[in-house]
Each structure stands twice: as C-alpha cells, then as structure tokens.
Amino acid sequence: MRKGRITIPTDENYVEGTKKIAELWGADAVRDCDGVKLPKNPRDIADKVYNVYFVDRGNHEWAKNNPDEWQHMFLMTPFVTATEKTVRVHLMDTFYDEQLKPDFSPAAVKHIEVIDRTTGQVHTDWVADEANGDVVIQGATPFHQYTVAFLGISLWHPVHMYNYITNDWDEPHHVMYDPYYPKTKKFIRENLRRWCDENPECNVVRFTTFLYMFSLVFNEKGKERNVDWFGYNMAVSPRMLDDFEKQYGYKMRAEYLVDQGYYNQTHRLPTKQYKDWMAFVENFVIETVKDLVKITHEKNKEAMMFLGDCWIGAEIFGERYAELGLDALVGSVGGGVTVRMLSDVEGVRYKEGRFLPYFFPDTFFEGNEENATRELCNNWITARRAMMRNPLDRIGFGGYLELAAKFPKFIKRVSEICDEFRYIYDTVKAQTPKNFAKVAVLNAWGKKRSWMCNMTAHELWYQPSYSYQGIYEALSGLPVEVQFINFDDVKAGRLGEFDTVINAGDAGTAWSGGEYWADEKVLTEVRKFVYNGGGFIGVGEPTALQREGKFFQLSDVLGVDKECGISLGEDKYNIQKQDGHFITRGIESPIDYGEDKKNIYALRGTNILDIAFSDRFTRKVNVGEVKMATNDYGKGRSFYITGLPYGAQNAKLLYRAILWTAGKEDMDNKSYCVNPLTEAHYYGDRYAVINNTAEKQTTDFYDINGSAQKLSLVPYEIKWIPA
Amino acid sequence: MRKGRITIPTDENYVEGTKKIAELWGADAVRDCDGVKLPKNPRDIADKVYNVYFVDRGNHEWAKNNPDEWQHMFLMTPFVTATEKTVRVHLMDTFYDEQLKPDFSPAAVKHIEVIDRTTGQVHTDWVADEANGDVVIQGATPFHQYTVAFLGISLWHPVHMYNYITNDWDEPHHVMYDPYYPKTKKFIRENLRRWCDENPECNVVRFTTFLYMFSLVFNEKGKERNVDWFGYNMAVSPRMLDDFEKQYGYKMRAEYLVDQGYYNQTHRLPTKQYKDWMAFVENFVIETVKDLVKITHEKNKEAMMFLGDCWIGAEIFGERYAELGLDALVGSVGGGVTVRMLSDVEGVRYKEGRFLPYFFPDTFFEGNEENATRELCNNWITARRAMMRNPLDRIGFGGYLELAAKFPKFIKRVSEICDEFRYIYDTVKAQTPKNFAKVAVLNAWGKKRSWMCNMTAHELWYQPSYSYQGIYEALSGLPVEVQFINFDDVKAGRLGEFDTVINAGDAGTAWSGGEYWADEKVLTEVRKFVYNGGGFIGVGEPTALQREGKFFQLSDVLGVDKECGISLGEDKYNIQKQDGHFITRGIESPIDYGEDKKNIYALRGTNILDIAFSDRFTRKVNVGEVKMATNDYGKGRSFYITGLPYGAQNAKLLYRAILWTAGKEDMDNKSYCVNPLTEAHYYGDRYAVINNTAEKQTTDFYDINGSAQKLSLVPYEIKWIPA
C-alpha cells in the first residue's frame, strides 16, 4: 500500500510518537493545532508541513495602532414596543460588549435605519446618543414596534472568542482589521511576505481563512445569538457601503442586510440586493486573495484554504473561484455531504477532509476507547459513501496526537481506514464511477450552495432541517450525477439535461422556492419537462406558495397538495394505500419520515404509497395524511415524500425513486444490492459492494448484466469484485 | 314536574304508542318525519303539531311548468392543463349530471369566466359549445392551467337527492325554483296560503327551510364533492347577478364567487365582494321570508325555521334576523356548541334542539340498546353543559318513535333527561347564571359566525378542525360571557368591553385572521388592550402572518413565535419548562393538544408550561417545541397553547387560562370544582355541581365565598346546592 495522502497533527513535545504513527498511517503531512507548536525540523517527519495563517487578525500591534480600520458588522436590535412618543433604544442590550460596540462616527451613523415594524415604514425621526449608546426614537406611535439597524465595530474575532472562552485561554483578543481600508490593504500583503520568510519550515500556508467571518454574533451573556455559516453581514463597512452605492447605483440600505432580523440567512429567498452585495464582496475578496496566493507562491509555498471561519466571499462554488489559484482546500467532514462539498469543488488542485473525532480530551479520556473508535467508524462509513463517488485527495485529523496514541485499537482502526482510503482513491480516480441517472436539485441558490442546502451552522443538527439534509446525504453516495440548479437555470431551459429534478424544503424558504413558484416560465418549464418524460421528486413542501387555488403550485405534477385549512369543504376520496410499487420494493422496515408534514392529501388518480390515519377519525372521507405518493404526468412521473432523514434504507428508497421517476426501472437489477443496508458501485473494470453498517450483512448483488450472486459482508466491509 | 317543552316524532301507524311515550316524556308537540305522515287528529296527542314545509321545492307541477325559473349555482371546473393551443373543457366532467346542467343561455354564458391559473389572468379567448357541454379555450399557452367558472342549473335539491339515494326512495326529484324570478316570487306566497288552508291540524309550520341551499355539490359519481354549510354559491342566478351590478355598481365576477375553487368557504378570509354578495342575498331573503311569516301568522300558525338545508340568507346572527318575525328556530344538537348556536340567537321567541340519536334503523336495531343509550347520554351531557349557561326552550327527537319504543331502558333514560331538562330550564331561566369573566373570540367573521367557527359541514368531524372546535365546545359550558367579534370591532375600540380575547386558528384562515394582522390599527388596539391589563389567549397559529420579521404578528404579546425554517440561525435558549403555574394547577392527566403545532418556540422571558423534545436532538439549543406558554405584557397577560380539542380537562384548562389572563386568580376557589371532570355553576340562590362523566366523581367544591366541601357525584349527576 502506497504511503501518503494523510495529514496528522503534532506538537513539539511529541516528536518520536508522531514519527511512529506517521509511519503506521502513512502520513505525509503534519499540521499545527491551536495551542501547540510544530516540532523543530518538521520535515523530518513529513513532506508537507501545514501552518495556520490568519490574514486579518492576530497582529495585535497592527490592530492596536489602526482602530480606524477595524472590521464592522450590520446588526438589528430586537423589536422594541413604544408605550409613549419617545423610545430610547439601547443598541447593545442583546449583544456582547466584548464582541462589538456601536459605531457612532458620522460615516456609520448615516447608515442607521429605524423601521416601524408595525407599518413596515422607515421612521426618520431619531437621534443618536453616543454617550449612552442609544438611538432615541422621537414621534413614535404608541404600541408600534421599532427596530434599529446599526453598524457595530468588531472588537473580537468570534471564533477566537469562542475558543478563548471554551478553553479558558489567557491571551490578547484577536481583533479583525479590514483589508478594504487602505492601510490594512497594504499591511496584509506585507505581513504575509514577512511571515513566509519567518517560517521557512512551512511549505503549506493553511489560510484560516481570508478576510471576512461568516455571521456569528454573541448575546449579552457571551453566548451565540445568531449564526449563519453563509452570512455576509460581517462583511460590511462604511467604506464598502459607499463604494457599493457608486458601483451599483443604489444605496445598500441597512434593511437589505439586516433583513427584518433574518439577516438574509441562507434559508431565506435571496433578494436582488443581497445577491448584489454578495457579488460586491466576492469580487473584492477574490481580487485580494489572488494577491495573497501569488505572494505565497512567490515564497515557494502552497496556499491552502480552510473552508470555515473567514471564508466569506471565497465562494467555493462561485463562478470566480478558480481565479484564486489556490493549491488546496481543506474542511471538516461530518459525512457524505461535507465530503462532496469539498470534493466537487473545481479550480483547486487538491482537497482534504479533516475527519472526526477531533483528538480532544472530551473524547479521548480514560475508558472511552470504544466510543472514540465507534465515532471514528461511523464518521468514516458515512463519509465513505461519498468517497466511492468522488473521493477527496487527502484526509487528516486534528487535535492532540498524543491523546489518540493512548488508544491502540483506535490507532489501528485509523491505520486500516487510511489504507482503505488510499485504495478507494486510487481505484475511483483511475476509473470513472458509473452514474445511472442525472439528478438536479432545484432551489433558489442552485450551484452556489451545492451540498450546502438546509445548513445553518456547519454540521450542526437542527430539528427542522435533518429531514431535508438526509436527501443530500443520501445523494452524496448514490451512483447518480448530482447538480444543483436554480430557477434561472430552469428558465434558461436547462432541465432537459437531467433525468429527474428534486425540489425539497419548507414553504417560503430558499430550498422550496417561495415566490419563484409564481413565475409562469418556471411553472411551464417544469411541467413541460415532466410531461415529456422527466422525473420530479418533491419532499416536504415542494413548489409551495398559496396562490390561485393551490398550495403546491405543481400539485398537478406531484399529485398531492397540502390542506391548509381553507379547502376542508372539498371532499378527499383518494385515501387508499396501493401496495407493491417499484419504489418501495425491498424496503421492509418502517420508513423514517423524520419531522414529516401534516395534512398532505392526494388528488384524483394519484398513487398513494403510504398514508396515516388519525386514531380519532370517525368517517372515511377527508381523513388520512399522505406520506408518500407517485403520480403519472404525461410521459413523466413524480414522487412525493413528506421527509427523508438520512438512513441506509432511506438512501435506497431515494435511489429507487430516482430510478422510477427517471423511467429506469431496469436498473434495479444492474449493479445493484437488494439489501438496503448495502450498496453497489460500478467502475467499469470492477464493482465495489459496501456494507454501510457495523453488522454483518448478506445481500443479493446484481452485476451490470443482471447476473445475481449472494454476498456476505463483514461489518463495514467493501468487497471489490472484478467486472 | 311540569309537562311540556318536548317534541317527539310520530306517524299514523303508531298512535297509541305515541300517546304513552308522550305522557311519559311530557311531550307537548309532535312532528312529522321524512317518509311518514302524522296521524289524523294529532292534537289529540299534543298541543303543538309541526309540519315540514318546503318553500322552493316539492311542487313538481310548478317546477315542470317553469323551467325558466329553476335555481342556479356557480361552479368552477378543475384545473385543466393545456398541452396545445386549443383546450376543450367538458364542464360536467367532475359534476353530477342528475344534480345540475350548465346553463348555456346568453344570460348565463355572459358570466362564464376562464382564468389562466398559471398567470392568474382572465383569459377571454374561448367559445361555448352547448352541443357538447364544453367551453373551448383558444390561444392557450401550453403547460398553463385553466379553469372555467360557469352557471349551472339545479336539477335536484341536494338534500332530497342525498336522502333519496341513501334511502332508495322512488319519487320525483325535488327541483328548486327561484323566488328571485317573478312567477315563482308570486307562487311561493300563494302556495303557502293554500298549504296552510289545506293543513288545518298543523299549528307550527316547520320551514325546511327558506329559499337557498347551503353549498352542497356532488361529483360525477353522485358523491359529495364540495360542502360548505355557510356557502352562498347556490344562492345565485343571472337575474340576481344583473341586479347586484345595478345596486352595487360593480360586476359580481364569477371569480368572486368561485374563489379559485375555494368557493369562499367559511374558513377563507371573507373578501369585500363576497360580503357584498352575502348582504345582497340576505336582504332579498329577509324581505321574502318576512312575507312568508306574515302569511303564516295570518293563517294562525307559528313559523318555525329549521337551521339547515335552505337556510342561506337567513343569517341567525345577522343584523336583520329579528325582522323576520319568526316564532321559533330549531336545529340539531351535537353538543354544547350547537346548543349555544341556537340558544344565543336573538329575535326569535323560542328555540328548540333536536337531540341524538336519531330514531333510525342504523342505531335502533336488535341488541344495540346499550349503545343507543350511551349515545343519548353522551350527547346529553355534552349539550347539558351549554344548557347550564343558556338553555334551549325545547328539546326534541326525530326519526321513528316505534323503533325507540323497542328499547325500554332508552325510553326511561329519555324520560329522565326530559325531566332534568325542564328542571334546568326553569332554574336557569328564572335566575341569572353568574359569569366570572367576559371573553371575546376574535376572528374575521365575528358575531355573524358566533359558535360556528371552524365548522365545514354541520357537526361533521374534520381532522384539521377539532383542535380548534374544542375551544368553543369548552366555552359553551363555562361560567363566562362569550361574544364573537371581528377586526372591525377591534378597530372600533370594542376590546375594552372584555377581560380576555381569544384568537385561534391556522395561519391564513378567517379564524386566525390572515391579512388583518397587517393592519396597524388592529395590532395597536390589541397591544394597548393587553398592555393595560387585558388578557390574550392564542391557540394554534394566532395572529399569524409572515411579515416584518415575525410569523406571529403579536409574538411580543404571546411570547412565542413559529420557526418557519427561515430563522434557524437565531439561537433559542428559552427551552426550560417551568413548574407550578396557576393555569395547570389541578390538571393532572397528560394534556391533549389534538393535532398540535410544530416548531413553536418561546421568546426571552416567556414562561413555558409545556415543551416537547425530539428524541433525536443532539444539543440543548434551538431544540424543543413549545406546547403551552404564558407571557406578561405590561399589566396584561397572555396564554398560548398549540391546540385544544374538547375534553372535560381541557375545558377546565381553558377556564383557568381565562381566569389567569383576566387577572382573576381569586376565582379558582369561588363557585369552583377542583376535579376537572366536574364543574360548578352559580345562579344566585343556588349552585349546580355537575359530573360530566359516566363514572362516579368526587370533588372539592368551593362556594362563592370560598368555603369548601367535598362532594360525591353519581354518573352524570347534577347536584343542586342552595346558596
């Protein structure tokens, strides 16, 4: 087995142990880690030496001497109810005074916007009271509610703050300086040159990250208040606002950025103004980072981007991403989605995933080896599904290697995983993994948020999200080509490129599409596509918008709609579950609908695959809640399901739904495993049959010609079978 | 015990049996019943003799000779998808050809409206093809959907049709003739005079009912297709449409009546046009029925209105209802709500409820006496709660008395109920039942739909409704004054009349209020009311409208909002259930939230009474779904609950929520029963303590001075206790 493709953490106190583990795992790169230093001569241990580098923080002297160039953020106070004509709003009431302070300079105050949220109108009668940190609203209408949007000056980098508080560090706060301002613009370039010279042992600069943080705002108690891993409201400054107006010909109002307090979080339908702002920031970040990468290369080092922290503006699926000229992209991996979010990125030479568990004392304490190893295995088999389709170029771990070294079984299991990874990499990269259908995921973001749908804080679980995220997790390891498209793509006639389109999300979100479903062109393009033989898969509240007698605007295609309490008077007779559909063949355990959706009913002629009845019902009309249904529409087909959290069986269900809607039923005995807990991949010269569980599995496996064999798989096994 | 206040059915073949039961029950009225005739000399049996009378149907000769005056209805075809430029829509595809036929006369065709539902625009390029029963749409856009609204001619009264089909009758179809047309206008008056003369033994004309049916449309298989017990789309004709335009100055478009296919069902936010149409019909019905009542009186008979069938336009809570001069109102009773829907009506001398079970073979078959008696008892104790507050003047039964007579226990139980009813009537009417709070139910309909909220077909169970209907059922028997108000009442400053306001319903429905929650005046009036000490109770999706950063527009008052998938990035820390609140004191069984609502979260400072956690949750932020919460707002208070289906415990919970929000906590030991399955009523000179269950109950009972005693109640018992 060839050595390489593995990154490990180390520190100056664990040199010999590192060497042993590096050899065992085949590691060829070492990295530093928060709170530790790399050993001297790290290249004795590995070919590649990564060092964390901060572009816009960490130089305390620069920060201290240039307070006029500190970064900003746009914030909105909570709703304040007027009980008299004058309302005094203390801006910082719900914000953390160690993270930020309001900017009362004239350049910033002119961007303050007070809105009467009861009427929705801008309220212009107010004064700023810097001494008290207030905005005083005058001429208020009693019992109206008001909000104040204002620019805050960042006092502390929020990730540094989080680590500092969590780990009880004692060091100066990291302030963020803004390269949009002239002195800092120059400084960050010079600083990088100097740093490169001062760190000759480092040959990979691990940028953590570039210029602007994703939205991460703390409350007055120093706890997370708002988070949006995709948010741009910390990529803002008076100077940027002025330039934007010159460039785009209109004022970037505070409201466009604070967005009623929703802060344009990624679940919101993106407005034109927000998309303009994103483009404006993205252009600036790209021009700046291009320079930084050039400097890095001049210093004979590789430039690696960490996907996180200050990644705003460096949109990995943006049109200009390749211009950066980066060598590498690294991000943390929690499963198949996060693998594909990295591995599908184009315009960067290699991509690396940092796997779990992190070697921290919260996992690596005495007696926890079993759990640590299980977390490792679970993380790996989830991520592995995606590796089978499009592998990362490297994998790595973070934390304190010395801690992990105390768990020999864990160390051994990692070693096996490293070998398995390299075999997968060599095999899959050398061949072309065969795809059996081409799937489009349709939402308001399209390509820009590929594999990022329904995400809030990176990799964190949210109750309203997991029933949608399961779709993407399932897709990440299915033998189908996946592209993320938006409504402009639909209008540009791109649907014809696909076999099946998926639309999944809650009504009114960017994922479902909201107002886009009032667009005549969108509706007709999708209908035409399906009518002529295309497939359509809806999950949750697809195509949802209350309008013209429907809630699901494509209820005709989907065969289902949602009873929102205004059509109870219409009798619903189609409540009979039909047995024996292609999609559910072989799906034997109860289906997990996750959060589910209530009050879905079938239209006439729709084929109900599953329906639930209230145990209170007293008559057989207008009752029953459809969970899963199919519909024929012209030559095309649709499939609806209320929710699809990730699970091996649900992944199989989705694959069968894709095959059926795509009219490819013949593929259910070609490169196919019957047991839903196992999956097959076909690479032209061989197959991989994988066991996605910690238990032994048997399955009927069909090769590409439909010949069957019974296979038995040990826990986690991949069986490579020559074609 | 005084005889009287009881109506029984009878027929010519059961005279002697009727006499015996009439004496046993103390019946003083007999009525006829579908399919049977009254005995000769019915006044030998009872003082009052009711005869069914049909105003607009039943005279087959008139119907046959005046097909130009048959009634109409406005209908909309289903959505038809264009796949080419010409679309042929067969109007009757989903309608029942025995119920109606399209009206292709010029006077009707001019009201046909074709709408492109993909753009929402009226499509004017079409031709009517009478020979084929089609409308042919030309110049259609492929993959747009179209609907055709058209006037149908009624061929068969839908209740007659239903009974005819259900009971396999063999008689001519009842056609409905329209008194809006001149010949029929005259005829219905003459016909009533003649009928009165021909039926001297009848002294109560039981109008079943007046001029126009509620919406009841059948599908092509003769099954119910659309029903709305409140709907006006069968109260329409070309002549009415023409007159409306003259009178109101604008054309009553088809779309205003078919309403995207929702037919303005009572759950919809009523539009100005629909309210205009209702007023127009109501005015005509009142002028006409006034005449009929006058004729009835001239013939020395009483005029009784049956609340059902053709009751449209005779709005029992309408402003002009008293003008009719009716003697009596009768309706069926399924529980407390339907009692109060009758007993709270003003402007009619006496009101009667027809109780369950109906004496029909589906209940009265051999071996079913136990069940029949249980149904009787359950119906009675549910209705009785409302009787304790505002009793009906009479109760009655329907069906075939001879069938009931075969069940001696049943006969005996009815006899006991009749006695109990008369005692309640005499007591409650002689005293004033004391109310301890004044409650307003706020929705888009207000008084006009008092006790009718969330109803579709009268008394039928709908899954999305029962969790709201429980509120009204609970209220019907609580010692509180209840009024139903609308948003105009709020704007007119009427909130000050009440202690607590209830707003309950699904987002976007008439019950919650939809767009009304964007009205500045509404928002400020409610806030002011609560801030100054008023109470607010929200159920389900109160004040819901996505706007200006909120889903619940009064989230500030309620202390809760709904996560609709666009504010996941805002952390929700308030997830701690608080123990020991006034509202839940004594509520010991798990609370029944019915259909419930998902994703409700508490704002800062809100007091959570109940919250559910997903068993999948992985962290203690942004999780938990609030079920019940309270909030302080100025001097006022609010209570929120996700759903409140009817049950004795939920009725107690609602009462405690009313007391708490009204700031009347001291009332929980005044005229109060602690056991939630029992209730107390105070009449000044005495108390009634009632057992709402079929089991023995004990309870602590507090009199109005707070003195407690322990009471033991046999099943269904009312204990009358002197004050």
- Predicted pLDDT of residue A191: 97
DSSP A544: E
Instruction: Pick the residue from chain B with its C-alpha nearest to A594.
Output: B616
User: What are the chain B neighbours of A268 within 8 Å (beta carbons)?
Assistant: 566
User: In Å, how far is B337's CA from the nearest CA of chain A?
Assistant: 19
B704: Cα within 13 Å, side-chain hemisphere? 16
User: What are the chain A neighbours of B528 within 8 Å (beta carbons)?
Assistant: 142-143
**Contact (CB<8Å) A570/B261:** yes
Percent of chain B clearing pLDDT 70 (strictly above): 99
Would you mind telling me the total number of residues written for chain B in this entry?
723
User: What are the chain B neighbours of A119 within 8 Å (beta carbons)?
Assistant: 520
- Predicted pLDDT of residue A619: 64
**Contact (CB<8Å) B506/A460:** no
User: What are the chain A neighbours of B264 within 8 Å (beta carbons)?
Assistant: none
CA distances for A647 relative to A131, A500, A572, angstroms: 56, 21, 32
**How far apart are the C-alpha atoms of B65 and B47, rounded to whole Å?**
39
Instruction: Pick the residue from chain B with its C-alpha nearest to A116.
Output: B548
User: What are the chain B neighbours of A118 within 8 Å (beta carbons)?
Assistant: 520, 523-524, 548
**Contact (CB<8Å) A464/B120:** no
| Complex prediction ipTM | 0.96
**How far apart are the C-alpha atoms of A306 and B40, rounded to whole Å?**
97
**Contact (CB<8Å) A228/B563:** no
Average confidence (pLDDT) over B97-118:
98
- Predicted pLDDT of residue B231: 97
User: Residue B487 CA to chain centroid, in angstroms?
Assistant: 20
**Contact (CB<8Å) B117/A548:** yes
**How far apart are the C-alpha atoms of A128 and A113, rounded to whole Å?**
11
Q: What is the mean pLDDT of chain A?
A: 96
User: In Å, how far is A86's CA from the nearest CA of chain B?
Assistant: 16
pLDDT for B642-687, tens place per residue?
A: 999 999 999 999 999 999 999 999 999 999 999 999 999 999 999 9
Q: Is pLDDT of A567 > 90?
A: yes
User: B61-74 burial string, b = 16+ CB within 10 Å, else e?
Assistant: ebbeebeebbbbbb
pLDDT for A97-138, tens place per residue?
A: 999 999 999 999 999 999 999 999 999 999 999 999 999 999
Using a CB cutoff of 8 Å and minimum separation of 24, what contacts does A703-708 make? A703/A670, A703/A671, A704/A434, A704/A670, A704/A671, A705/A670, A706/A669, A706/A670, A708/A669
Could you give the residue numbers annotated as active site of A?
Answer: 309
User: In Å, how far is A387's CA from the nearest CA of chain B?
Assistant: 26
**How far apart are the C-alpha atoms of B661 and B639, rounded to whole Å?**
7
Average confidence (pLDDT) over B462-466:
94
Percent of chain A clearing pLDDT 70 (strictly above): 99
**Contact (CB<8Å) B531/A143:** yes
Identify the active-site residue in B178, B309, B344, B499: B309
Q: Is pLDDT of A171 > 60?
A: yes
**How far apart are the C-alpha atoms of A420 and A56, rounded to whole Å?**
39
- Predicted pLDDT of residue A36: 78
Would you mind telling me the total number of residues written for chain A in this entry?
723
Note if B309 is an active site residue. yes
- Predicted pLDDT of residue B571: 95
DSSP B385: H
pLDDT for B435-449, tens place per residue?
A: 999 999 999 999 999
User: In Å, how far is B356's CA from the nearest CA of chain A?
Assistant: 16
User: Is the model more confident about A342 or about A459?
Assistant: A342
Residue A581's nearest CA partner among A541, A649, A631, A527 is A631
| Chain A to chain B Cβ contacts (< 8 Å) | 208
- Predicted pLDDT of residue B530: 98
**How far apart are the C-alpha atoms of B345 and B428, rounded to whole Å?**
17
Mutation choice for A interface testing from B93, B123, B143 by most A CBs within 10 A: B143
A399: Cα within 13 Å, side-chain hemisphere? 18
pTM: 0.97
User: In Å, how far is B160's CA from the nearest CA of chain A?
Assistant: 20
- Predicted pLDDT of residue A538: 98
Any alpha helices (H) in A583-642, and if so which ranges?
Answer: none
- Cα torsion A197, A199, A201, A204 to 10°: value is -90
Q: What is the mean pLDDT of chain B?
A: 96
As a whole number of Å, the CA-based R_g of chain A is 27
Confidence of residue B142 (pLDDT cuts 50, 70, 90): very high
Mutation choice for B interface testing from A145, A522, A617 by most B CBs within 10 A: A145
- In B322-430, beta strands by DSSP E: 328-332, 350-354, 394-396
Mutation choice for B interface testing from A113, A213, A550, A622 by most B CBs within 10 A: A622
User: Residue B41 CA to chain centroid, in angstroms?
Assistant: 37
| A100, β-bridge pairs | A154
Contacts of B194 (CB under 8 A, 6+ apart): none
**Contact (CB<8Å) A549/B623:** no
- Predicted pLDDT of residue A618: 65
User: In Å, how far is B573's CA from the nearest CA of chain A?
Assistant: 9
- Predicted pLDDT of residue A620: 66
- Predicted pLDDT of residue B170: 85
**Contact (CB<8Å) A261/B570:** yes
- Predicted pLDDT of residue A1: 43
DSSP letters for B478-528: SSSEEEEE-HHHHHTTGGGG-SEEEEEE-TTSTTT-GGGGG-HHHHHHHHH
Confidence of residue B34 (pLDDT cuts 50, 70, 90): confident
**How far apart are the C-alpha atoms of B24 and B50, rounded to whole Å?**
20
Average confidence (pLDDT) over A577-596:
95
Give the pairing type, strands A87-90 and B672-673: unpaired
Average confidence (pLDDT) over B131-147:
98
- Predicted pLDDT of residue B35: 72
- Predicted pLDDT of residue B163: 84
**Contact (CB<8Å) B215/A569:** yes
Average confidence (pLDDT) over B237-249:
98
Contacts of A262 (CB under 8 A, 6+ apart): A268, B549, B566, B567, B569
**Contact (CB<8Å) A463/B508:** no
Q: Is pLDDT of A401 > 50?
A: yes
Confidence of residue B619 (pLDDT cuts 50, 70, 90): low
Confidence of residue B2 (pLDDT cuts 50, 70, 90): low
**How far apart are the C-alpha atoms of B545 and A640, rounded to whole Å?**
27
Peptide bond into A361 cis (omega under 30): no
Mutation choice for B interface testing from A162, A521, A570 by most B CBs within 10 A: A570
Q: Is pLDDT of A516 > 70?
A: yes
Closest CB to A520 among B115, B119, B505? B119
Contact A427, A384 (CB under 8 A): no
Angle, helix B466-476 to helix B369-387, in steps of 10 degrees: 60
Confidence of residue A2 (pLDDT cuts 50, 70, 90): low
Percent of chain B clearing pLDDT 90 (strictly above): 92
Instruction: Pick the residue from chain B with its C-alpha nearest to A260.
Output: B549
pLDDT for B526-553, tens place per residue?
A: 999 999 999 999 999 999 999 999 999 9
| B332, β-bridge pairs | B354
**Contact (CB<8Å) B267/A566:** yes
**How far apart are the C-alpha atoms of B714 and B202, rounded to whole Å?**
42
- Predicted pLDDT of residue B166: 78
Average confidence (pLDDT) over A486-509:
98
Q: Which two tokens stand for residue B411?
A: 């006969």
Amino acid at A390: N
Average confidence (pLDDT) over A274-291:
98
- Predicted pLDDT of residue B620: 67
User: Residue B552 CA to chain centroid, in angstroms?
Assistant: 26
| A350, β-bridge pairs | A328
- The enclosing H or E element of A419 equals helix A408-430
Helices then strands, each counted (H, E), chain A? 17, 36
DSSP A624: -
User: What are the chain A neighbours of B511 within 8 Å (beta carbons)?
Assistant: 565
User: In Å, how far is A658's CA from the nearest CA of chain B?
Assistant: 23
- Predicted pLDDT of residue B77: 98
Confidence of residue B1 (pLDDT cuts 50, 70, 90): very low
A130: Cα within 13 Å, side-chain hemisphere? 8
**Contact (CB<8Å) A566/B231:** no
Residue B414's nearest CA partner among B391, B392, B398, B430 is B398
Closest CB to B268 among A83, A119, A566? A566
Cβ atoms within 10 Å of A645's Cβ, excluding its own: 20
User: What are the chain A neighbours of B617 within 8 Å (beta carbons)?
Assistant: 461, 463
- Predicted pLDDT of residue A455: 96
DSSP B287: H
Residue B44's nearest CA partner among B62, B23, B63, B24 is B23
Closest CB to A618 among B144, B223, B461? B461
Q: Which two tokens stand for residue B71?
A: 């009634």
